[in-house]
Structures are given as structure tokens and as C-alpha cells.
Amino acid sequence: LIGTSVFNDMPCSLVLCKPKTGRTHQIRRHAYHLGMPIIGDSQHGDSKVNRAWRNSRGLDRLALHSFSILLEGDTQPSLAPLSPEFRSVLEQDQDFWKSLCESEPRLLEDLVDERGGTFGRN
């Protein structure tokens, strides 16, 4: 658990998941079965919660992001910055955003794609 917040009397949490395999929908299905569906998940989520987040916070996507992955043969994990839209939703609650950045300081880094690519500075 990285951080928690309350939105429209509904608690929400940001969770760091480290799946052991790459099974399709693994995180989404486990969250659903634990009674904590991912916001924006149209298949395994709560439509009322999804609608509330879309209408008031502008979150019109699945609130799931692969921030870090260590690929076989690599010594350093590859990091993917949050999209500007997703980050702006998280920053709307400044206390929540601050606690997230304290738990995961890499969220504040200016990530650079040193290999070239389509996201980040080249």
C-alpha cells in the first residue's frame, strides 16, 4: 500500500503490485476478488465508482500503470513515467500526491529514454 485517499465518501488506495507471472488481467482479477476493483476497470470494476471518477476528476481510463519492469538480462529496471493525464488526476489531492511521492520518489524524476523512443526526451 503506497497511499490512501477518500473521494465522495469512498476510500481508495494506491497499491504497488509485483506480479510473479504475466498472466492476462492478473492484477485486475485479483483486485476484484479482494473487493478492491481498479478504478476505471469496465470489466472487473464498479460502474458507479468509475462514473464518479470520470465526471469529477476527469479519469477516463483504467487507473493501472506499469511504472517499473525488470526485463530478463537487464541489470536496471525500465521506468515508464505516468501519463500527464493520469498524473494530473493523482495531483488533484495534494496530500495524497505528496504521500505517493514520499513512498515512491522516482515519480518525481525526469525520466529519460536513453535508448531513443517515442516517450520522454530522446
CA distances from 3 to 44, 100, 112, 114 (A): 22, 6, 26, 30
Which of 42 and 16 is assigned the larger pLDDT? 42
What is the residue-averaged pLDDT of the chain?
82
Alpha-helical regions (H) of 1-122: 26-33, 47-57, 84-91, 94-103
pLDDT band at residue 121 using 50, 70 and 90 as cut-offs: very low
Instruction: Tell me: pLDDT of 119 over 60.
Output: no
Task: Say what percent of the chain tops pLDDT 70.
Answer: 88
What string of DSSP letters covers 9-35? TEEEEE-----SS--TTHHHHHHHHTT
CA distance 64 to 76: 22
Average pLDDT over residues 117-122: 52
CA distances from 88 to 23, 41, 57, 58, 84 (A): 29, 19, 9, 9, 6
pLDDT band at residue 16 using 50, 70 and 90 as cut-offs: confident
For the stretch 36-89, pLDDT in tens is 889 999 998 889 889 988 998 889 999 998 888 888 898 888 888 888 888 998
Residue 122 confidence (pLDDT) = 43
Instruction: Return left, alpha or beta for 37; rule: phi > 0 is left, psi -120 to 50 is alpha, else beta.
Output: beta
Half-sphere exposure of 68 (CA within 13 A, CB side): 11
